[in-house]
């Protein structure tokens, strides 16, 4: 499961690489910071915790980016009517 989620996260990062600051890269950053804190505070430093947190952060950022794109489409469609 984590392999498929990681592949989706990497594809999102590649697709949105040249679009400037966006929610996907922000989610990656927040996930990385949360993962580092969790790995340090937890019962032993674990790199998988950091990896999983970055994947989750990237996917949450991707969901936020998709919701933003959908709302823009709906708004422009509503304005054209």
Residue 81's pLDDT is what?
64
59-74 pLDDT, tens digit each = 999 999 999 989 988 8
3-state secondary structure (DSSP) of residue 45: coil
Of how many residues is the chain composed? 81
pTM of the predicted structure, to 2 decimals: 0.86
- Ramachandran category for residue 45: left, alpha or beta (phi over 0 → left; psi -120 to 50 → alpha): beta
CA distance 36 to 8: 22
């Amino acid at each position: 499961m984590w392999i498929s989620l990681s592949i989706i996260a990497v594809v999102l990062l590649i697709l949105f690489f040249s679009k400037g600051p966006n929610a996907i890269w922000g989610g990656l950053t927040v996930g990385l910071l949360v993962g580092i804190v969790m790995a340090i505070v937890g019962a032993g430093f674990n790199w998988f915790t950091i990896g999983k947190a970055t994947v989750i952060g990237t996917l949450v950022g991707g969901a936020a980016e998709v919701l933003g794109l959908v709302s823009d489409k709906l708004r422009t469609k509503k304005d054209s009517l």
